[in-house]
Amino acid sequence: MTESTHPWLEMEAVEAWIETRCVFHNLTLSLRTGEHTAILGPNGSGKSTLVRLIDRSIHPVVKPGSHLRLLGSDLPLQWELRRRIGLVSTELEQRVPRRVRVIDLVLSAFFGSIGLRQDQTPSNTQLDRAFQLLELFDIAELAQERWTCLSDGQRRRVLIARALVHQPDVLVLDEPTNALDLRAKHRLLNQLRQLCQSQTTLVMITHQVEAIIPEITRVICLKDGAVMQDGPKDHILNGQALTTLFDTSLQVIEAGGYRQVMPLS
């Protein structure tokens, strides 16, 4: 993928609150299309708040010298965000109705809902696209299954398929491998590696270093609501930086393009 100089996310001196807690005091960050990126940080670092700013479920404080632009706009149209930015979050997963069928959940992305309503009738083209994505993630046989019957790994793949219906410019995944067993994790990571060969920019938001696939080129370390480090993956994923980020003595072992974090003996 050829890198673009055009940022899809621009944050300048952003202040953001969750209820009575100020998560970001003065966050400045830019993410560009064509640049596969991991945003890495411990629990409580602000990762989930960043996701909520991207999906516009919360908004930053309006103040002089501060802005948050998505797709080059301070006030992007909701339909354009859905079309160009695919997003999978823990919050979305928790909102899925237990009895919804897999195929209906994927198709509902065309209508901006979570599950199909009676007044929403997919076209043949939309049906073809949904089944194509289920095939891509090896879950076509689950099309008629109910959400409640799926494993964690299957649910994650269904939601990623749903996020890709519009062939978005950017795919944002919040903790994509969380709660997955080793087989499900490796299967999902292999599929994300294949996805990186397309024209979709991947952004992984995670606290798991081992989930960062080889195709990721940039790593942003987030801690206490601020960017601690930001740069090429090979410069960031080392024992010294990760020891500071996670407040524990760590060493890094690399194999096959992946990193594994171990306690420093």
Name the residue among 192, 188, 182 with its Cα closest to residue 215.
Answer: 192
d(CA 156, CA 211): 14
> What's the confidence (pLDDT) of residue 5?
65
Which CATH number do you get for residue 16? 3.40.50.300
pLDDT for residue 2 is more than 70: no
Question: Is residue 253, in this structure, part of any structural domain at all?
Answer: yes
> What's the confidence (pLDDT) of residue 199?
84
- Amino acid making up residue 98: R
What integer is the mean pLDDT of 16-41?
Answer: 97
pLDDT tens readout for residues 75-89:
999 999 999 999 999
Q: How many domains does the chain have?
A: 1
Asked if 222 and 39 count as a contact pair (C-beta separation under 8 A), the reply is: yes
Question: Is residue 1, in this structure, part of any structural domain at all?
Answer: no
What integer is the mean pLDDT of 42-46?
Answer: 96
Question: Is residue 2, in this structure, part of any structural domain at all?
Answer: no
Average pLDDT, the chain: 95
This model's pTM is above 0.85: yes
Q: Predicted confidence band at 1 (pLDDT cuts at 50, 70, 90)?
A: very low
pLDDT tens readout for residues 218-241:
999 999 999 999 999 999 999 999
The gap from C-alpha 208 to its chain's centroid, in whole angstroms, comes to 13
Question: Is residue 155, in this structure, part of any structural domain at all?
Answer: yes
pLDDT tens readout for residues 160-217:
999 999 999 999 999 999 989 999 999 999 999 999 988 899 999 999 999 999 999 9
Domain that holds residue 30: 7-263
**Helical spans, DSSP H, in the chain:** 47-54, 78-84, 90-95, 102-107, 124-136, 152-163, 182-195, 233-236, 239-246
